[in-house]
Amino acid sequence: VAARYFTSCRTIFGKQRETYPPSDPHKLRVLLVTNTMPLSTVEQMVDNAEQSREWLILVFHKLGPSTADSIEWSTENFTALADYIAATGIPVETVSSGLAP
C-alpha cells in the first residue's frame, strides 16, 4: 500500500540498521532517538554505522530545552551530535537524496 503513495517509508527496528542501498525503500530501518538515549550512545551508533558501512537514519520527533516528553531530545545534545558528525567527515544525506538514482 505504501508504495502506491510514497517513495519510501520507515520502520523502527532497533536490532538492525539499514543497508546502503536499502533492500526495500518502503521499509527503511531507522534509529528513533528518544529522551532515554544519552548523547554518547547516539555517537557510538554513528561510529558503528561508519565502521559497518551502514546507513544510519536518525529520527528526532521533537527537539527542545527539556526531555520531559519521551519523544523529546535536548537541543544541546542535538547540536553536539551535529558537531560530532561534522567532525568525523561522514557524508550526511537526506532520505530523498540517499534514495535518488
pLDDT in tens, 79-101: 999 999 999 999 999 888 888 87
Buried b (16+ CB within 10 A) or exposed e, 79-94: eebeebbeeeeeeeee
- Quick: pLDDT tens for 31-70: 999 999 999 999 999 999 999 988 899 999 999 987 778 8
In whole angstroms, give the CA distance from residue 72 to residue 62. 5
For residues 47 and 18, the model is more confident at 47
In whole angstroms, give the CA distance from residue 84 to residue 5. 35
User: What's the confidence (pLDDT) of residue 82?
Assistant: 97
In whole angstroms, give the CA distance from residue 11 to residue 22. 13
Give the helix/strand (H/E) hosting 43: helix 39-52
